[in-house]
Amino acid sequence: MGQVCAAFDPADVTYVTTLDGLPQKSGFARYALVQDCNKNAPFKALICTLQMAGVLIRTRPDVIITTGALPGVIALVLGWMIRRRTIWVDSIANAEEASSSGKLAKRFATLWLSQWESVAQAEGGRYEGSLL
């Protein structure tokens, strides 16, 4: 995570996570917690959407960069709706094909990246190198 965070220095960054304790452990000054959710928990997805909308209203980001599961897709969709630039980094765990969230995110991402060159080529995304 250190490499990614260092790339944003000295930008004004708000980190959003579903993991309570992670921002404090990582020393993030500005962060927000949102409800974790997945496609099998529509009520949690609704809560996450409302919380994420609140974060975007408060922080007014220029760019939204995300990876991960449904909360990340929700952030991209909301960012797309308010015409912000959006960047999706598909999971490092998906070395053979894009994640299901990543496939959905392609519709809303200004830039869609994979950490695997073969996945980026197969999905019409970009490969700019890996983080590990």
Residues 87, 113: contact at Cβ < 8 Å?
yes
**Whole-angstrom distance, CA of residue 69 vs CA of residue 60:** 22
0.75 exceeded by pTM:
yes
Check residue 128 and give its pLDDT: 84
**pLDDT score for 17:** 94
Query: pLDDT value at position 94?
Result: 65
